[in-house]
Structure 1
Amino acid sequence: MSRELELVEAFVGLADTLVAGFDVVEFLHDLVVRSVSLVDAEASGLLLSDATDERLRFVAASTEQARMLELLQLQNEEGPALEAYRTGARVDVPDLQKYTGTRPGLHRAMQEAGFASVQALPLRLRERTLGAMTLFRSSPGLMNETDTTIAQGLADVATIGIINSRALVEQERLAEQLQAALNSRISIEQAKGMVSEFHGVEMEQAFEMLRRFSRNNNIRLSQVATAVVRREASTAELIPPHGRALY
């Protein structure tokens, strides 16, 4: 299979993953494995920022060595991946032997794992950086421009996929909140009708009675309405729990 065809299949496969039953962990694992097969690198790892506190977390690696080195970067709170994440720019370490003066323990661990050079690419869209992908190579020097472009393209696909995933989660959360609000509104309307009927007052006055009860007892209006509809004893002054039938 030609490299061009393999590259097309890789991007199509990643796009299919985004559409059908998107799973972030599976998607990113697929991405680091494909990156190694498409560019001049022996291993790849990926760190992703947590959506809540923006701390980097390990999420995927193509080999066990890459996984350990990604975790080591997190443990030391330094390394090419963390620098790429913090700066939003590519970080190149073309020869690990020449960088023994900085991060000696980390670079020594990378060499002991069989790697001679490292490149870290930010997962970035405009001003937003979500993480970093590290490419480990067994020979010194940088990848050629074509491989670097392909690797950055894969990182860009990952970024778009993650942003879409988080947007979908947020959309689902908002949809759940909206549905909860609609359900609460239904309960409130039912409670208004019951209070209005029992006390012989207008609907507006019944609503004010519900609100006053809510404030006086420091209970949410939706909870008060639900309790009224269920004839719970806690709302006896609004509707007795065993009062006469209303309908």
Structure 2
Amino acid sequence: MKTVYYSTLSLSNRDHIFLQSIIVLYNSRGNAKWVSSDGIDSNLLVVGKDTDSDALQVIPNNIKVVLSFNNDFCNDNYHIIYVETPLKATSLIDKLKTVEDVLTQLSNQSIKNNNVISNNSKKLKLLQWPTAEIIAKNTAYPILSALLSKRPMGVEELVSISRKSEEICRCFVDLVVNAGCAEYISINSSVTQNNEHVNAADVSSKRGLLDKIRNRLGLFWN
């Protein structure tokens, strides 16, 4: 069950009592749990109708959603949900549900953005050739598969080299990762693997040169 941590700002005693009574009723119905919090954990601010402009200038940075009894409060930095007057229990309950929906959307968007940032800092390694079902979905997928079969690379690099759109590349990446045909690896791991390959090739080349020199000098040993 989701928990909504809220704090209040300049809420009148009457409005505070009304809000509390509705929240008690709301919590008893198996909805999200609403908990009063004046700390940095709050993700919702309830603004009273008599809140002055100076008080509105010091809203904590962690607040993204405002439930406002003040219909004159406007600020593009927050998602504001206005409480209708005169106050009605059914109307306020609807507003609480709206707040929950907005907070859920913001949370999901934040998770999505974090995943994109995280995946952008990694490279995709092809574990096996994608299934025929995946390949058949787009004519670009065989090309993307061939590119990834050579070495791990990030989505942006795949877009640049393949000259396919980012949308096509990301769809392909999601498909092969979800199917277990590929996995994300850290850039450091990719660099280490590439260096190992380079070092192995370098060592092999040097050994070949040393063998030729030994043979010419008549130095034959294992």
Say whether the fold is shared (TM-score over 0.5).
no
TM-score, reference length from structure 1: 0.28
Which has the larger share of helix? 1
Q: What TM-score do the two structures reach when normalised by structure 2?
A: 0.30
